[in-house]
Amino acid sequence: MHQLDMNFSLPPRVSELADRVKAFVNETVVPFEKDKRWTSHGPTDALRRELNALARKAGVFAPHAPAEYGGQHLSHIGRAAVFTAAGYSMLGPVALHCAAPDEGNIHLLDVVARPDQRERYLKPLATGDVRSCFCMTEPAPGAGSDPGQLQTTARRDGNDWVIDGEKWLITGAEGAAFAIIMAKTSGAGMEGAATMFLADMSDPAITIERTLDTIDSSFVGGHAVVRFNGLRLPADAVLGEIGQGFRHAQVRLAPARLTHCMRWLGAAIRAQDIATEYARRRTAFGKPLGEHEGVSFMLADNAMDIHQAQLTIWHTAWLLDKGERASTESSMAKVICSEAIARVADRALQILGGLGTTRDTVVERFYRDVRAFRIYDGPSEVHRWAIGRRIVTHGAR
Ligand SMILES: Cc1cc2nc3c(=O)[nH]c(=O)nc-3n(C[C@H](O)[C@H](O)[C@H](O)COP(=O)(O)OP(=O)(O)OC[C@H]3O[C@@H](n4cnc5c(N)ncnc54)[C@H](O)[C@@H]3O)c2cc1C
């Protein structure tokens, strides 16, 4: 009989790190949740830097970063354990420097950047000296769910490129040192193709038009409208190959989707813990809430949603570690997790009653923040549509 290659135990190095992250988040990060520097446009850079310093001191800073920049180059399974532990507080990923968009940008640059670009952009990003942003989405009629609608242009002018266009919902643009910009390249044989560029945000041709007031508040710098007005970039600003922007974006896409699931799973576990503690302590009609079936069923449904999210994350991470693209699985994980975790947030808030609607617990912020997760990195409908299209074209899995 063949031994099955299926094993749910983590390598000791990873579980030891995840335990240390759990302790760090509980003891050191959670007390910062009432800090006034956690604003409606996200934690400030001053708060981020203070948390980063504490994470460095605790030896848990940026474990996903390449080893040459002080990280441990964690596998996807390793990230699943560690990022979920970090997500127990919505400030945990900020502290560990594993929040979006920097975490995904570190991964993209690690795979695609040339050695000189690694030195100039990846090194300060991986070490947490600077932040970055990823500029893809545009207001209508530009790129949104359909990247093919890209309107931002990159025009060749001698050896330079000139970029014009407007992006919006760009996380962390305010305060970022550099941007990765997706633009439509024109010229012989490149009609409809896209290219990625690296640009310093200090360039006067880049303006942040406004920071948006959004439903969520856990990303440093919030989300902004960014304009490129005749942004002139040298030939070596191209990230990867000319015309291969969408292909390179795939490098970022599946893993970045999954790491969102990991971090939000941590927040769901926290909400369940808070709701459970309340259901044990608070009484109504002569007994603790948790002994009423209506409440215990909500806790049970939460546990099942959390379990389902956990399993789909592990499976997709395992495929990615084997070198597979896991496009379908990461799409399924994104939908399963974003919807299951939103249900957990909703039920936890319900169990807390009036308390759930206040900011006396983090459940209220979690409930609002996680709503956006069903939209960014592909709305649920787009993933369902992509999964369905593959089923119709290639048959059931
Ligand atoms: C909090 C947050 C952070 C973000 N950060 C970034 C960032 O850093 N960088 C960046 O580039 N972008 C970012 N985005 C943008 C995000 O990627 C887009 O919002 C997302 O891709 C959807 O595009 P859209 O908003 O233009 O929606 P639209 O394309 O206008 O779609 C609207 C709705 O139409 C439906 N729909 C679309 N296509 C289909 C289909 N094929 N079948 C069925 N229904 C469909 C879906 O319900 C969808 O929600 C962020 C968004 C949010 C909310």
Neighbours of 36 (CB within 10 A): 7
pLDDT band at residue 6 using 50, 70 and 90 as cut-offs: confident
18 and 42 together in one domain: yes
Task: List Cβ neighbours of 346 (8 Å cut-off, separation of 6 or more).
Answer: 367
Residue whose CA lies nearest to ligand 1 atom number 19: 376
Query: How many whole angstroms from 144 Cα to the centroid of ligand 1?
Result: 5
91 and 228 together in one domain: no
- Alpha-carbon distances of 166 from 131, 186, 257, 312, rounded to whole Å: 20, 17, 24, 36
User: How many structural domains compose the chain?
Assistant: 3
Tell me phi and psi for residue 328, to 5 degrees: -65, -45
Mean pLDDT of the chain: 96
Q: Is 166 exposed, middle or buried (0-12, 13-18, 19+ CB in 10 A)?
A: middle
Cβ of 373 closer than 6 Å to ligand 1, yes or no, is: no
Q: How far apart are CA 84 and CA 116, in angstroms?
A: 33
The verdict on residue 127 lying in a domain is no
The verdict on residue 6 lying in a domain is no
Query: How many whole angstroms from 56 Cα to the centroid of ligand 1?
Result: 35
Query: How many whole angstroms from 357 Cα to the centroid of ligand 1?
Result: 27
CATH of the domain at 269: 1.20.140.10
> Per residue in 155-193, pLDDT tens?
999 999 999 999 999 999 999 999 999 999 976 567 679
**Cα distance between the two ends of the chain:** 26
pLDDT band at residue 252 using 50, 70 and 90 as cut-offs: confident
Query: How many whole angstroms from 374 Cα to the centroid of ligand 1?
Result: 9
> Per residue in 332-357, pLDDT tens?
999 999 999 999 999 999 999 999 99
Q: Which domain holds residue 85?
A: 12-99
Cβ of 144 closer than 6 Å to ligand 1, yes or no, is: yes
Cβ of 77 closer than 6 Å to ligand 1, yes or no, is: no
31 and 166 together in one domain: no
Query: How many whole angstroms from 89 Cα to the centroid of ligand 1?
Result: 25
CATH of the domain at 30: 1.10.540.10
273 and 355 together in one domain: yes
Residue whose CA lies nearest to ligand 1 atom number 43: 381
Q: What is the DSSP letter of 244?
A: B
